Amino acid sequence: MAFRLDTPVQFLKGVGPRRAEAFERLGVRTVEDLLYHTPHRYLDATSVTPIAKAVVGAEGTFVGRVVSKAVMPTRKRLRIFRAVLRDASGVIECAWPGQAFLDRMIKPGQLLLVAGPIKYYHGRQVVPREQIVLEESAGTANAPDTIGDGAGLMIPIYPATEGLSHRVIRNVIADHLDAILETVEDHLPAQVRQRAKLLPLAKALDLLHRPPAATGAAAAEPSWEAGRRRLAYDELFDLQLVVARARHLAKRATKGMSFEIKRELTSRLKRSLPFELTDDQKRAIREATADMTSDVRMHRLLMGDVGTGKTIVALFAMLLAVENDAQAVFMAPTELLAEQHGRTIAELLAPLGIVPEVLVGRLSAGEKASIRERVAAGHSKVIVGTHALIQEQTDFRRLGLVVIDEQHRFGVEQRAALIEKGEAPEVLLLSATPIPRTLALTLYGDLDISILKQRPANRPTVKTGVRFEKDRRTVYEFIQQQCAAGRQAYVVYPVIEESEKVDLKAATTMADVLRQRLAPFTVGLIHGRMRADEREATMRRFRDGDLHVLVSTTVIEVGIDVPNAAVMLIEHPERFGLAQLHQLRGRVGRGANESHCILLVSASPQTVERLRRFARTADGFKIADQDLQDRGIGELAGVRQSGGFNLRYANLATDGDLVTAAREAALRIIEADPNLSTPRHAPLRARIERRYERGMELFRVG
C-alpha cells in the first residue's frame, strides 16, 4: 500500500486497531513514529556457541530446535517454564523462573535463539535473558537444528510493552521498512552533513533497524553506531537551533542604556583588595566589561568552582554600572546568603565609601519601606536581596545590571520578574555548580559563558579521606578534638528518617546519637521538611558559633559560609553523585584553618574506588566530567530548574564533538536566517515545531 510518514500506524499490515493501541503506549502513532522507534540494543548472533561448549558460570548465545517443554511447580509456588534445546553438538535445558506464560508461545519444533548465563542445576542449564523464535516448527521436532554459525545475524531488540512483544514490532518494521525509507526526506543541509561527516538520514535509519554483522577490522565499532550518531546529531542540532534563537533574541534586544569604560571605582577596588586576582577572574572581568560596553546586552553565565571568587567578578561589573550612574542589584536564593553577600560586599566597598542596601523578607515593614524608598529615588546604587527584590513594592530608578546568584535555584519567571524591573538591563548569572562543557553548551547555549577554575592563592585545599565502619569511633574522636580546638563540623546524611526499605543512617536519628556521643559539644539539626525560617535560624546559630556540630541532609549543599567549619563528615557517600559530594565538601575550607572531608562508607570495592578517585582531586570540572560518565545526565541536568530536554540518541558523556558541531552549525544558520523562514530552512522549522512545542515560541517572537 502507499502511505506517508503521517499515516496512522493502525493501517499498516499486521497492526490493526488492537495493536495500534499497544503501539500508542510506546508513543508510536504514525509511520514516522514507527521509523524512529529504534532498537535499544542488539543481540549479536554472529558468535553462536555450540551447545556442547556451554561453560557453567559463563554467558552464551545458543541456537537450537525445541525438542520438549514443560511447566514445573516448586515448593515456593513459583512455576518454572523449562524447554530442552538441541543443536548438532548436543542438548541443553533452558529455565525461565516465574514465566509459565511462555508455555503458550514456545512450541516443540521451533528454532529458538537464547542468550543468558549458564548455571548448574542437575546439569548445565541456561537461564535466558532473551529468547527469539527464529523459525516456526517445520512440522517435526526432527527438522534441521542449526542455522550454521549465525553469520550476518544481528537481531534488533525494540522497546516493547504488554501485548506487543519486540518480536512483533521487529516483524512489522521488517515488513514495511523499505517502503517507509523511500518516503524519508533529509532536510539537514548537505554542507552541514558533510562538515560533520554524517550519513544521509535514510541510510542511518536503515543501519539502526538492519545492522549488518561487523567482521574483521569493522568489528571495532558496532555497525549501527554511524546511524545512531546521525540521529544524535539531529536532536542536538534541533536543540541548538532553539537555544541559538534564544541567544539571538537576548543579544538583539535593545540595551536599556549605554555604558562607557570608566575605571575610577574599579581601580580603587583593585588596589584595596587584600589579595591578588586570579588570571581566571581577570579574564572574566574583561569579558563582562566588553559585554556591558558593547552595542548588545550582556547575557552571561559566570560558572565557577567552589571558592574561585565569583562574587568579586560580579562586584567589578556592578561598579562599572555604578560609575555609569546606574543601579546594580544582586539577588540570592536565601536570606542567609543575601546577608552574607551583603556583608562581604560592604567590607569590600567600605574603602570606596559605598554602602550597599540589603533587602530581605525578615526585615520589619518600616525597614523595608525605607530601603525601597531610597532605591526608588536612586540614592542606593548597590542593592543585595532575595525574592523581596521582585515584589511589586520594589522599584528601581535606573536599573542597569542584574546579578543572580545560584541562578538555577530561581525559576525562569522569577529571574524575568527582576530583569523586567529595569529597561533591558545587563544580566550576569552566577553558578557554583561546575558542569562539563558539552552539558553547558546544551543547557546554556543561549548564554555566553565565563569559567573560573583557579582558586585564590590563600585558599587551602580540603583534605579528603575514605573511612569505614571500623573507623567510626576514631572519626568521632577526631570531630571532638576539632571542636575542642574551637572548630566546627558538619555531618551529612542522605535521608531524613530511617526506613525499613533502605538500611541507611538518617539525620533525625543520628542527631540524637551524636548529641550523646559528642557531648558536651552542642549539636543542631536541619533538613528539608523543616520550615525555611527554622532552618535559617539553626544555620544562624551554627554560623554564630552557638552550635559546634550541624547534622543535616543536603540542604546545606549550597549555603552560608562558615569559615570556622573545618570538618565535613558524609555518611553513605555512595548514595551521592560525585558532583554533589564536591558541593558538600565546598562547605568547609572557607577559612584559614586546615579542613577535612571524611567519607564514611560501607560499600562494594568498586564504589570505594570511585570515592577514592574523588578524594584525589579538588577540580570540580574534572569531577563533573567523571560524574557524567558514571551517572549520566540525570543528576547534572538538574542544574536547570525549568525548560528541560530529552535526549534519546545523544550521549553527552561521549558525543562532545557532535555537540560542538551542532552548536556551530546552528549559530551560522540563525545568524543568516533568525526565523528559519526561507524555503531552504522551513523544513528545519517544521521539525522543531514537532519536537519542541515550547521552543517554537522563540520563533514566533518578532
Reported confidence tier of residue 151, pLDDT bands at 50, 70, 90: very low
**Helix or strand or coil: residue 257?**
coil
What digits encode the pLDDT tens for the residues 501-558?
A: 556 778 888 999 999 999 999 999 998 888 888 888 898 899 999 999 999 988 775 5
Of 84-98, 472-486, 675-689, the range with the lowest mean pLDDT is 675-689
Residue 132 has pLDDT above 90, yes or no: no
Higher model confidence: residue 307 or residue 3? 307
Q: What pLDDT was estimated at residue 471?
A: 93
CB 97 within 8 A of CB 80: yes
| CB neighbour list of residue 463: distance below 8 Å, 6 or more residues apart | 594, 595, 596, 597
- The neighbour count for residue 264, using CB atoms within 10 Å, is 10
Q: What pLDDT was estimated at residue 46?
A: 67
What does the H/E/C string look like for 72-87? ECCCCCCCEEEEEEEE
Of 150-159, 383-392, 464-473, the range with the lowest mean pLDDT is 150-159
Q: What is the mean pLDDT of the chain?
A: 85
Element (H, E) at 669: helix 656-672
Strand order in the sheet with 357-359: 357-359, 382-385, 327-331, 399-404, 426-431, 299-304, 448-452
Phi (first) and psi of residue 286, to 5 degrees: -60, -40
CA–CA separation, 540 and 561 (whole Å): 11
Q: Indicate the DSSP class of residue 288.
A: H
CB-count burial class (<10 Å; 0-12, 13-18, 19+) for 604: exposed
CA–CA separation, 571 and 558 (whole Å): 18
Reported confidence tier of residue 202, pLDDT bands at 50, 70, 90: very high
Buried b (16+ CB within 10 A) or exposed e, 174-191: eebbeebeebbebebbee
Q: What pLDDT was estimated at residue 217?
A: 45
Reported confidence tier of residue 420, pLDDT bands at 50, 70, 90: confident
What digits encode the pLDDT tens for the residues 561-574?
A: 888 999 999 999 98
Residue 135 has pLDDT above 90, yes or no: no
Q: Indicate the DSSP class of residue 91.
A: E
- State the DSSP string of 147-213: BTB-TT-EEEE---BTTB-HHHHHHHHHHHHHHHHTT----S-HHHHHHTT---HHHHHHHHHSPPP
Q: What pLDDT was estimated at residue 230?
A: 95
CB 158 within 8 A of CB 40: yes
Residue 221 has pLDDT above 90, yes or no: no
What digits encode the pLDDT tens for the residues 321-335?
A: 999 999 999 999 888
Tell me the C-alpha to C-alpha distance, in Å, between residue 345 and each of 218, 301, 341, 351, 403: 61, 20, 6, 11, 13
Q: What pLDDT was estimated at residue 168?
A: 87
Q: What pLDDT was estimated at residue 322?
A: 95
Of 38-52, 513-527, 630-644, the range with the lowest mean pLDDT is 630-644
Q: What pLDDT was estimated at residue 522?
A: 95
Tell me the C-alpha to C-alpha distance, in Å, between residue 477 and each of 18, 507, 514, 520: 67, 19, 12, 13
Q: What pLDDT was estimated at residue 641?
A: 36
Residue 207 has pLDDT above 80, yes or no: yes
Q: What pLDDT was estimated at residue 220?
A: 53
Reported confidence tier of residue 165, pLDDT bands at 50, 70, 90: confident
Q: What pLDDT was estimated at residue 633?
A: 55
169, 172, 177, 180: CA torsion to nearest 10? -110
- The neighbour count for residue 262, using CB atoms within 10 Å, is 14
Q: What pLDDT was estimated at residue 137?
A: 67
Residue 645 has pLDDT above 80, yes or no: no
Of 22-36, 111-125, 639-653, 684-698, the range with the lowest mean pLDDT is 639-653
- The neighbour count for residue 328, using CB atoms within 10 Å, is 27
Reported confidence tier of residue 59, pLDDT bands at 50, 70, 90: confident
CA-nearest of 117, 135, 11 to 64 is 135
Of 235-244, 404-413, 586-595, the range with the lowest mean pLDDT is 404-413
Reported confidence tier of residue 638, pLDDT bands at 50, 70, 90: very low
Reported confidence tier of residue 257, pLDDT bands at 50, 70, 90: confident
Q: What pLDDT was estimated at residue 149?
A: 42
| CB neighbour list of residue 187: distance below 8 Å, 6 or more residues apart | 683, 684, 687
Q: What pLDDT was estimated at residue 140?
A: 45
Residue 148 has pLDDT above 50, yes or no: no
Higher model confidence: residue 649 or residue 646? 649
∠ CA 90-100-95, nearest 5°, is 30
Reported confidence tier of residue 2, pLDDT bands at 50, 70, 90: low
CA–CA separation, 326 and 331 (whole Å): 16
Query: Could you tell me whether strands 90-97 and 80-87 are parallel, antiparallel, or unpaired per DSSP bridges?
Result: antiparallel
What does the H/E/C string look like for 601-615? ECCCHHHHHHHHHHH
Cell of 496: 531524613
- Rounded to a whole number of angstroms, the CA Rg of the chain reads 31
What digits encode the pLDDT tens for the residues 688-699?
A: 877 765 455 555
Q: What is the sign of the dihedral through the CA atoms of 490, 494, 497 and 498?
A: negative
Residue 496 has pLDDT above 90, yes or no: no
pTM over 0.75: no
